[in-house]
């Protein structure tokens, strides 16, 4: 592989105009496609195989024309202190608002609170339910304006009015912190390279790659039902890995120049060596993201595939466009003068060597030497520290966000609180029970039996009378729990209703299903929990095999996988501490604590594993390269840090800055993912890879690189270390081979 990438790098360097033109053309094409594509509609949130999804599908079949997937709104009215909503003036205000809402062209129905008994027992609070023909993301602005105008007119009449539901659903935004993250990345690159040109190359190529990826997602959003979160995730991961991959190749290019090689040769060797690491690091990220399909939640699968495609683009750009731009940059990528002296190199270093004194070892060399001398102490300290950070993960509670997790400044959250005040906390998470009595001889009796059975269960406040369809073979029953939607009691109630339905089915043949947003959230959480172990086995297993090929070792990949488990558990502990316990919640902009999102653990496992393997590949391949070239095991560890520690540190800081930039998002899921990934990169890069990895390798010595002879013969030789490049140089190959590649 190193030889092929070496030739590719030299070809891209020489044909720089052609390569740059191709990528600019792709960016333009993707941009035009995004600009001309129809706006994205709703994202279908289906969970195949769950009872809640089966009930939802049954509703669409047996109750046609009721817009089961249409947007909903609850307009909540509260009378001034000491007054009631049943007062004549307030009643007239509410009835006018209901009449105004019913005039909308996209409105399917509006339930009058006085006719539907939607007034609290104390008379202080009432609500009107509005159902629309289309989803919240498809509602026209005029419809949303009419909803807000009706609420405002009622406010002007003296009532407190808030609007809940998904009718006012807005596209999430990331805020200014995303730009700050990119700015931090730029500063780190300038400090690392001591050259504006060298610092600008990774940023430019990463932005081009993300532009192509996100524009392509936008262009396909309507056809593939990709939500706005998909493009934000692709941008987050694409920026981080795009900058990192380009950073490693540019850094290796500068090292090759420092060895006295010509620019084209340096570009080829940089792509042949660092580029090989980029390919395998990118493969681990792609495997982890595409592997999310194991969960069998279409939305999660689409997010993973879209992000994986963006990572693949970042790899291709690093292998082709980076060497092409290096051809344009010339030798301006080298740091000189004062900038170089800040980095401990340049003239100051040369002066020391000219005077016959040894050059001062860099920080990476000094740190690695320290760890090699005291490996056991460093290992124990790192494991204990990560273990302490992981302690909060033991109390992890999972759920999906609803209006109760919104900031208190939003009308959705205030409507949620008013409904809880007037009707009880369970009113915000009603359960819909669907009774399919098509195979029963007495459907009406079955509906009554199921209703009575539910009334006798614990934690039930109210049960509405069965509402059959026109055929009379299916009915819906709404159940109001006594506890809030995200509580354990409500989850127990869902299971109790399903158990009771099983007994009814055994007696009558009628099927009882529970659905609704609360039941759907419970089923999603269960499905994600069940998929976590198979997902871990698949992703870690495939990556383990891949790393065996890269490092030609059994123990090094095993160490990498165990280190990842430590870092991801510590990161989950930090997520629980902030988003569930509320530690530092004000600093992170978390206005409401609660359960961690159900998909967070499995998503963090996938993404963090891929990113953790990035640093493993980049850092350990330099150690493997030194070991293969004849250095002793301990010295190879130090050499790997000498050449790779500063760049890996810069890459980790950049990735943390990019991820942390998304903490400012208005979307709770994006905020949590941004924080989780940023803290996970910190633990993995600075504790696991920078401390535990050299400590373990120092303890193992030469055994770290042991591989059974039969397996060594069976594995393909991918030559990540670039040993084949030395052989090719000794054979005198060079321009003639490149010309042959260009002809083919």
Which positions ≥6 away from 318 have C-beta within 8 Å?
Answer: 205, 242, 245, 246, 248, 249, 275, 278
What's the Cα-to-Cα distance from 439 to each of 501, 510, 597, rounded to whole Å? Answer: 15, 6, 39
Task: Tell me if 454 sits within 8 A of 431, measured CB to CB.
Answer: no
Token pair for 662: 């998304």
Nearest to 16 by CA among 323, 333, 334: 323
Give alpha helix (H) positions in 629-683. 633-660, 668-682
CB contact set of 538 (below 8 Å; sequence gap of 6+): 291, 294
Instruction: Tell me the average confidence (pLDDT) per consecutive run of 10 residues in the chain, 744 residues long.
Output: 86 92 93 79 65 85 68 88 90 91 83 84 90 75 87 91 80 59 80 78 89 87 73 82 87 84 88 85 85 83 88 94 88 55 42 50 84 93 94 85 73 88 87 86 86 88 86 87 84 90 81 86 84 83 82 87 88 91 78 77 80 78 80 88 83 83 74 88 90 92 87 77 56 41 37
Q: What is the pLDDT of residue 219?
A: 84
Alpha-carbon gap, residue 658 to 369, rounded angstroms: 31
Q: What is the pLDDT of residue 360?
A: 65
For 720, the 3-state DSSP assignment is coil
The Cα–Cα gap between 288 and 411 comes to: 38
User: Can you give the three-state secondary structure of 610-624, one letter per residue?
Assistant: HHHHHHHHHHHHHHH
DSSP 337-383: HHHHHHTT-HHHHHHHHHTTPPPPPPHHHHHHHHHHHSHHHHHHHHH
pLDDT value, residue 383: 94
Which candidate, 368, 383, 713, 698, places its Cα nearest to that of 556?
698
- The pTM for the full model equals 0.77
Helices then strands, counting H and E runs in the chain, come out as 27, 11
Tokens for 494?
């869902």
DSSP characters for 382-418? HHHHHHHHHGGGGG--EE---GGGS-TTSHHHHHHHH
Residue 517's H or E segment, with its range, is helix 517-551
Centre a 10 Å sphere on the Cβ of residue 178 and count the other Cβ atoms it contains: 22
Q: Are 574 and 389 in contact (CB under 8 A)?
A: yes
What is the DSSP code (8-state) at residue 476? Answer: E
Which pLDDT score, from 0 to 100, does residue 733 have? 43
Q: Determine the Cα–Cα distance for residues 625 and 167; give it in Å rounded to an integer.
A: 58
Report the C-alpha gap between 24 and 419 in whole angstroms.
53
Distances (CA, A) of 90 to 288, 411, 685: 57, 20, 61
Asked if residue 659 lies in contact with residue 562, where contact means CB atoms within 8 angstroms, the answer is no
- The pLDDT of residue 731 is 42
- Whether the Cβ atoms of residue 321 and residue 19 lie closer than 8 Å to each other: yes
DSSP 380: H
State how far the Cα of 130 lies from the Cα of 109, in Å rounded to an integer.
6
Q: For position 355, what pLDDT does the model report? A: 47
- Cα 678 to its chain centre, rounded Å, is 11
pLDDT of residue 352: 45
Going by their DSSP bridges, the two strands 107-111 and 125-132 should be labelled as antiparallel
């Amino acid at each position: 592989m190193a030889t092929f990438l070496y030739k590719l790098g030299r070809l891209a360097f020489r044909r720089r105009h052609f390569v740059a033109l191709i990528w600019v053309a792709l960016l333009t094409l993707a941009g035009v496609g995004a600009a001309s594509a129809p706006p994205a509609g709703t994202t279908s949130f289906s969970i195949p195989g769950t009872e809640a999804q089966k009930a939802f599908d049954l509703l669409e079949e047996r109750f046609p024309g009721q817009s089961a997937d249409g947007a909903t709104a609850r307009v909540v009215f509260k009378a001034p202190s000491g007054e009631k909503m049943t007062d004549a003036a307030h009643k007239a205000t509410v009835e006018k608002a209901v009449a105004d809402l019913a005039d909308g062209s996209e409105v399917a129905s509006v339930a009058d609170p006085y006719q539907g008994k939607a007034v609290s027992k104390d008379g202080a609070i009432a609500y009107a339910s509005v159902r629309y023909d289309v989803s919240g993301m498809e509602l026209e602005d005029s419809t949303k304006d009419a909803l807000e105008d009706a609420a405002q007119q009622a406010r002007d009449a003296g009532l407190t009015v808030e609007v809940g539901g998904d009718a006012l659903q807005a596209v999430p935004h990331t805020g200014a912190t995303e730009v700050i993250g990119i700015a931090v990345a730029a500063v780190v690159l300038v400090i690392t390279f001591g050259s504006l040109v060298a610092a600008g190359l990774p940023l430019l190529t990463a932005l081009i790659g993300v532009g192509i990826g996100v524009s392509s997602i936008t262009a396909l959003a309507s056809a593939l039902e990709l939500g706005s979160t998909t493009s934000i995730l692709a941008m987050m991961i694409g920026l981080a890995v795009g900058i990192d991959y380009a950073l490693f190749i540019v850094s290796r290019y500068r090292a090759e120049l420092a060895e006295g090689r010509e620019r084209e040769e340096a570009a080829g060797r940089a792509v042949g060596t660092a580029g090989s690491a980029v390919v395998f690091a990118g493969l681990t990220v792609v495997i982890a993201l595409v592997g999310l399909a194991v969960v069998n939640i279409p939305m999660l699968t689409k997010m993973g595939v879209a992000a994986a495609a963006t990572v693949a683009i970042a790899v291709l750009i690093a292998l082709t466009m980076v060497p092409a731009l290096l051809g344009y940059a010339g030798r301006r990528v080298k740091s000189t003068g004062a900038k170089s002296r800040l980095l401990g190199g340049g003239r100051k270093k040369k002066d020391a060597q000219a005077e016959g004194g040894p050059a001062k070892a860099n920080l990476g060399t000094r740190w690695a030497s320290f760890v090699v001398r005291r490996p056991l102490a460093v290992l124990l300290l790192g494991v204990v520290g990560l273990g302490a950070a992981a302690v909060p993960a033991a109390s992890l509670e999972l759920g999906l966000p609803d209006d109760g997790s919104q900031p208190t400044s939003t009308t959705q959250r205030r409507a949620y609180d008013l409904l809880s005040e007037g009707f009880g906390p369970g009113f915000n998470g009603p359960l819909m029970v669907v009774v399919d009595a098509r195979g029963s001889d007495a459907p009406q009796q079955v509906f009554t039996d199921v209703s009575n059975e539910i009334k006798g269960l614990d934690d039930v406040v109210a049960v509405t009378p069965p509402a059959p369809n026109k055929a009379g073979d299916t009915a819906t029953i709404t159940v109001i729990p006594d506890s809030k939607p995200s509580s354990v009691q409500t989850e127990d109630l869902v299971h109790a209703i399903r158990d009771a339905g099983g007994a009814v089915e055994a007696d009558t043949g009628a099927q009882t299903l529970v659905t609704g947003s609360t039941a759907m959230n419970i089923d999603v959480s269960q499905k994600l929990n069940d998929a976590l172990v198979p997902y871990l086995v698949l992703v870690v297993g495939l990556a383990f095999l891949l790393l065996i090929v890269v490092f030609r070792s059994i123990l090094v990949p095993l160490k990498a996988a165990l280190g990842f488990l430590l870092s991801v558990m510590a990161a989950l502990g930090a997520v629980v501490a902030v988003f569930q316990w509320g530690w530092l919640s004000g600093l992170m902009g978390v206005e409401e604590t609660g359960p961690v999102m159900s998909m967070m653990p499995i998503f963090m496992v996938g993404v963090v594993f891929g990113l953790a393997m990035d640093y493993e590949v980049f850092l350990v391949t330099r150690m493997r390269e030194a070991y293969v070239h004849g250095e002793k095991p301990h010295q190879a560890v130090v050499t790997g840090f000498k050449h790779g520690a500063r760049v890996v540190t810069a890459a980790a800081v950049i990735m943390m800055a990019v991820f942390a930039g998304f903490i400012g998002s208005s979307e709770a899921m994006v905020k949590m993912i941004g924080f989780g990934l940023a803290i996970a990169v910190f633990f993995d890069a600075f504790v696991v890879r920078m401390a535990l990895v050299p400590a373990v390798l120092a303890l193992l010595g030469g055994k770290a690189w042991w591989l059974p002879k039969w397996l060594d013969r069976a594995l393909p030789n991918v030559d990540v270390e670039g040993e084949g490049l030395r052989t090719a140089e000794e054979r005198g190959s060079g321009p003639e081979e490149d010309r042959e590649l260009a002809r083919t």
